[in-house]
Structures are given as C-alpha cells and as structure tokens.
Amino acid sequence: MLNIGFRVDASNKLGMGHLMESISLAESLKRREKCNIFFLTKNFPPAIDILKTRGFNVEILNGNSEENEIKKISQTVKTRQVEVLVVDLLDKNDKYFLKLKHHVKVLIVILDDDKHRSVTGDMVVNFNIAQDKGFYAKLPVSKTIYCIGPEFMLVPEELHSEWKKEKVIPATCRTILVNQGGSDPFGLTAKIVKALELLDLKQKIIVVIGHAVSNKHKKELEHLKLRLKNDYQFGWNVTRERFYQFMSECDLAITAAGNTLYELALFGAPSIVVCHHEKHDLVARKFAEKNAVINLGIGTTLETSTIAEAVDKLLRSRKKRLELSLNTKKIVDGLGSKRIAEKVLETCRKSL
C-alpha cells in the first residue's frame, strides 16, 4: 500500500484553489490504488474542515520558518514511511524542492504560474494556460516528467461527464453566476454586485462567497444585501458539488481568473472575467485570445459602469455567448486528475 503525503496550504490570501486541486488528485489516486493519504498544511480552519469532511488525515504545520518546515516534513515522511510527496505551494524556489527530494523517493511538484523553469522533482505539473510546452521540450534530458498545459488541470474526474454534455445557450439568459474565488482578497464580489445594480435585470443572480473570504468582505456583502433591487441568491460556504451545480446551470458567469475559470470552461459557461492581479490578467488574456472569455482586466481599477456595460452587452448577444461557450470547452476536458494520477502511479512503479 502506498503512503502518500500532500503539502498544500489555503488561506484568506491564497484562497482554496491549491487545496481543492490537491484533493482532486488525492481522490483520483485512491480510485486506482490502495493508499494511505495525509495532508500537511498550515492551520487554516476552513481548509482543515474540508479535508476532514472528505476523510483525510491532517497534520498541522506551525511557524513560518522554511528550515523548520523541511525538518517537520522529513520527520513525518520517516514516521509515516512516505514514498510519495506531492507539493502544491505558491512561490517556492527550487532550493525548497531540492531539500525535500532528499527525503522522499518520489516528489511531485504542482505549479500554477507563467514562469518557465526547470524544477527538481520526479514529476512537475503546471496547468497554467500561459505555459509554453516548447520550453520544456528544449530542456536538457532528465528524469523529470513535465505535464504542461490546461489538459492537466486538476478537477474531480466526474466533471468529464459534464464536459461531454452540450451546453444549451438560451436566447434569453435566466441565471447569472458571480464568484471571485475562494478568498476574494480585494472585495470584488461587492463591486460586481454594485455594477449589476446599475442594470434592471430579470435574471436570477447567484452570488457564491468562498470559504476563505474575510469577515470584512462578508460584512460588506451583508450590508449590501439590505438595499438590492435585483433578484439575488447568496451562497455562503457552499459545497464543491453545489458550486458545480451552479456552474452547470448558469447562462452567464462573472468570475476571477483562478481555478474557477478553468472549471467554468468545463461546463461551457460564457464568462466575463474580473481579475485580481497581473497574474490573473495574463491567464484571462490567454483565454480571451482564444475567444473563450470576455476579459475586463484587473478589478481594482475597473469602474462599476464598465462591468455593467459588459454584462448588458453579453446578455443581448446569444451569438457571442455561444462562441464563448464552444471555445472555452476546448481548453479543459476534466481528465487532468486522471492523467496525472496514472502518471504518478507509473512513476512509482518505476521508482519504488
């Protein structure tokens, strides 16, 4: 039986994307192999609750010292006899991965950025649409397996069946979905709602607020709710399954450019993107180049009228919504977790 550890974090700043993609891979591994899986993570209660609800063992990492973190991971690897370590973290340099590689037989590194670089690990996954596979093909020959591009986006395998369904694009939109990721660090959900209030909308508007949204932004939304004229349904801390149902049923989405954008692509949801920062904007621009989304740029600099005008224009054009839907479904197919799980297990058979 394989012993597999996942090193991943979530927070009000990071959001929940890294955690959810790691859970998707863990579940795909369990489908194919008997294995003991545990998660090493910083103490963020919403993330720990999700992990425990899904039946995973959790160990808490305390402190901010990378040296102490490496020490704790090495101790845990030895105690639990871990053969495979999956690392899904933001902004770690290669020295970090090199130190970890000394302690495990198989190291899997999951990234989501536009940087092009060689990374220490038996397998490196980067599903960012801004990645160039050609860069990795030109690297010196090594044992590292690189899995590059949106086809490796880690989502629950059952979403492939949703991808195979034809998305119905009605002449008149019935439902608008609003979400700004698991944390919405810049409070853009409230800005989007204010923009929608500039329009006299007949649609039902579903606003999903993530698990990691700060109390400050939650209070702003609660206050805003008291004076809204359009028809809203607010979803606080909804389950992943419920969120996917909203994605499936919506006729138009207003989203950020994190993992949710790739997930919406699976369902063929015509989407307007309000970005958090330059990294998001680069992703959204790549989607827009494929005529797969309407990208409005970085949300903190947007006027509410700009958002409202974009929504109104897309609501009026079934032709554009159909184009966006067809093109966005070409980007992700829902089999990323399956592809990576099979490659991980193949690597283990060769290495262990």
The edge-to-edge listing of strands for the beta sheet with 252-255 is: 231-236, 204-209, 175-179, 252-255, 271-275, 294-298
Query: In the chain, pLDDT over 90 holds for what percent of residues?
Result: 93
Structural domains of the chain sorted by starting position, each given as residue range(s) with its CATH number in brackets: 2-155+335-351 (3.40.50.11190), 159-328 (3.40.50.2000)
Of 257, 231, 256, 233, which Cα lies nearest the Cα of 246? 233
Query: pLDDT tens across 7-26, in order?
Result: 999 998 889 999 999 999 99
What pLDDT shows up at residue 351? 84
pLDDT at 145 over 90: yes
Of 197, 258, 259, 211, which Cα lies nearest the Cα of 12? 211
Distance between CA atoms of 197 and 275, rounded to whole angstroms?
A: 20
DSSP letter assigned to residue 335 = -
Q: Which residues contact 187 (CB under 8 A, 6 or more apart)?
A: 216, 217, 220
pLDDT band, residue 350 (cuts 50/70/90): confident
DSSP letter assigned to residue 168 = P
C-alpha distances out from residue 56 to 30, 40, 50, 53, 59, Å: 11, 11, 9, 8, 10
Segment 142-155 shows an average pLDDT of 95
Q: What is the b/e burial string over 127-151, where b = at least 16 CB atoms within 10 angstroms of the residue's CB?
A: bbbbbeeeebeeeeeeebbbbbbbe
Query: pLDDT tens across 40-66, in order?
Result: 999 999 999 999 999 999 999 987 889
